[in-house]
Amino acid sequence: MTVQFQQESLSGRLKTVKPSPTIAITRLATELRRGGADIIALSQGEPDFDTPDHIKAAAKKAIDDGATKYTDVDGIPELKRAIVQKFRNENGLDYETTNISVGTGGKQVIFNAFSATLDAGDEVIIPAPYWVSYPDIVLLTGGVPVAVACGEESGFKLTASALEAAITPRTKWLVLNSPSNPTGAGYSAAELKAIAEVLLRHPRVLVLTDDMYEHIRYDGWEFSTIAAVEPRLHERVLTCNGVSKAYAMTGWRIGYAGGPAALIRAMATIQSQSTTNPSSISQAAAVAALTGPSTSSPRAMPSSRSGAICAWPRSMRRPASPAGRPTAPSTCFRPARD
């Protein structure tokens, strides 16, 4: 007699999380396209250009050179050195290779960080609207997501006063995502400085800043990241980034972070017992991306493209404020009105 798998065999932890709605929408759109439908999928943050040729060439060369074996768990030395230079040259952040973690996409880097630090009941402050995966990663790693509503009046960004009100004795992390997925809103250096002043009063709170959309932005908007804005927070910040958006490498699955060496070692321990190293070929490609010509990436998008993306049909009433105009092209986020 065949015994069927029982739902009761699933862990209680799984009951607290949902499948990624982004992936669910993308899967549905793919199925509809296969059926002949003309679909525009407004789900995953997929760049509308291809991986630059010199990056593809580096991957092909890595295959031909036999770079197809296991690597160091959290990144090859060449890639870590390239990331150190990227942080130093572009962000004014001073790291050694011992401060660098490389994972299979930015999502794994975040998962590793929370797995290494969260105990049951620890709280993670997440400004809302937010990327859909943040709360579920927190839940999967034993924490409690605390969403803080950030409305149109604040430009969909967390304010210092809202952060102060949200911090409790159980707060372990603050998540900052700038430019934001899904709103496209980016924090200025002054706004980050105000948030940093609150954090300096709460020395136990760590900061995870997700800078994945750093290089895809509009109108000459100047990117800032909190560890550079307030160096006194340097040892409490995990600065996360990757090659997915800036170099159209979403399928290559390389994310990285810079942070305190003790945290980076703990994250490597987690990764050593899950996926081990990221793809050796993808790592070689990421080296080429970070050390190659910046002209191969779109970097700052022209304002004309922002206007085109944010144009509203004449039949729709325009918003009362410009808060929804994005600094980055992940979306053009507007609140619904009657």
Instruction: Give the gyration radius of the chain's Cα atoms.
Output: 20
Summarised one tens digit per residue, pLDDT across range 226-283 is: 999 999 999 999 999 999 999 999 999 999 999 999 999 999 999 999 999 999 999 9
The domains located in the chain, with CATH, are: 8-44 (no CATH), 53-294 (3.40.640.10)
**pLDDT band per the 50, 70, 90 thresholds, residue 330:** low
66, burial (CB in 10 Å: exposed 0-12, middle 13-18, buried 19+): exposed
Helix (H, G, I), strand (E, B) or coil at 3: coil
Kindly state the DSSP code that residue 314 receives in the 8-state scheme.
T
Q: Would you state the pLDDT for residue 19?
A: 79
Whole-prediction pTM value? 0.88
Summarised one tens digit per residue, pLDDT across range 110-158 is: 999 999 999 999 999 999 999 999 999 999 999 999 999 999 999 999 9
Helix (H, G, I), strand (E, B) or coil at 126: strand
* Omega before 313 within 30 of 0, i.e. cis: no
Kindly report which listed range (106-110, 239-243, 333-337) carries the lowest average pLDDT score.
333-337
Q: Percentage of the chain with pLDDT > 90?
A: 72
* Cα separation, 227 vs 195, whole angstroms: 11
Structure tokens that stand for 162 in this block: 């809202």
Q: Which helix (H) or strand (E) holds 93?
A: none
